[in-house]
Amino acid sequence: MQNKQSGKVAFITGANKGIGFETARGLGKLGFTVVIGSRDAGRGRAAADKLRSEGIESVEAVRFDVTRPGDHKEVARHLQDRYGKLDVLVNNAGVQLEDGDFTSGFNTTSTGNPDILRQTFDTNFFAVVALTQTLLPLIRKAPAGRIVNLSSILGSLTLHSDPSSGIYAKKVFAYDASKTALNAFTIHLAQELRGTTIKVNSAHPGWVRTEMGGSNAPLDLSEGGKTSVQLATLPDDGPTGGYFHLGKPLPW
């Protein structure tokens, strides 16, 4: 089968495991050169080796911590020197530091630790904004750049305020609020980039059985990267400034 995406480069943060790794696998199978960002260099190399063993040859790992501004500059230099552009940025790395039993109701708003709120926003929002701003000049050099922000259905204010929704009784405040803020970034950046070939969208991967999602999640890990891959490979007439799960729009 002809490789339709050869020559395109994707950088995925937090891609040594979980949903990020599945995204790397999906894009690699489509012919992308995949750059895996991993806080642990050894785990990143192991992830890259695993993909190579599956026949994905164009893959490399870089040590990258999304919360370290110096790493943002270093990865930008690396991508510029090695590839001269960036076709796809998947802002996948994220944390969920609060406890919550998603099989029952809970709400952490009045008891949340302010330090956890700050740490969550540092990783899930502020670091994503900073990294995207740093890499945007490289994305502009690509013929048709794609930015995918890993959000969650838990970032939907519409569903959180609807007593009939499935997430109404499940409120993990710091995480939810960070994803709502990330959705705002998606909307704002997409509007700024209107008229260009760059598309910016938020992805809800689904409730997936990962370290974060837990064993009660209904979706297998293999399903976790599908929405990110779809948004990373949107055609020229595809949407921008949207919020999606497997091609279906979600309410903000």
Question: Catalytic residue numbers?
Answer: 175
Phi, then psi, of 165 in degrees rounded to 5: -80, 160
Q: Please name which of 155, 172, 22 lies closest in space to residue 96, comparing C-alpha atoms.
A: 172
Tally of CB atoms within 10 A around 151: 29
The C-alpha atoms of residue 8 and residue 145 are separated, in whole angstroms, by 10
Q: Please name which of 166, 150, 173 lies closest in space to residue 243, comparing C-alpha atoms.
A: 150
The C-alpha atoms of residue 139 and residue 132 are separated, in whole angstroms, by 9
Residue 102 Cα distances to 48, 105, 107, 167, angstroms? 32, 7, 11, 9
Tokens of 175: 């995480």
The C-alpha atoms of residue 18 and residue 63 are separated, in whole angstroms, by 17
